[in-house]
């Protein structure tokens, strides 16, 4: 990931209201998918897979926006 892209991700997802709202909405979608899985057991696998896909998006955002720990030497 280029430093420019990382900076833009941080600016949007960590600092802007819209980006924070988007991530919150993703979290709500995960909850909705899990509730749907409980309410419709015959489709539970489908709902859980959708939740997993949403978690992968959140994981990507977190990995790109992560700030390096102090004391680490970048090679």
Per-residue pLDDT of 12-64, as tens digits, reads: 999 999 999 999 999 999 999 999 999 999 999 999 999 999 999 999 999 99
Cα–Cα distance between 23 and 29 in angstroms, integer?
A: 10
pLDDT at site 14: 95
SS3 helix, strand, coil % of the chain, rounded to 5? Answer: 80, 0, 20
- Please choose, from the candidates 46, 18, 24, the residue with its C-alpha nearest in 3D space to the C-alpha of residue 34: 46
Q: What is the pTM of this model?
A: 0.84
Cα–Cα distance between 60 and 65 in angstroms, integer?
A: 9
């Amino acid at each position: 990931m280029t430093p420019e892209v990382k900076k833009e991700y941080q600016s949007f997802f960590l600092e802007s209201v819209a980006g924070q709202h988007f991530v919150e909405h993703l979290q709500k979608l995960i909850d909705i998918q899990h509730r749907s899985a409980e309410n419709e057991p015959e489709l539970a696998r489908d709902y859980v897979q959708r939740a997993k896909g949403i978690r992968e998006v959140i994981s990507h955002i977190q990995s790109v926006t992560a700030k390096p720990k102090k004391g680490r030497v970048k090679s």
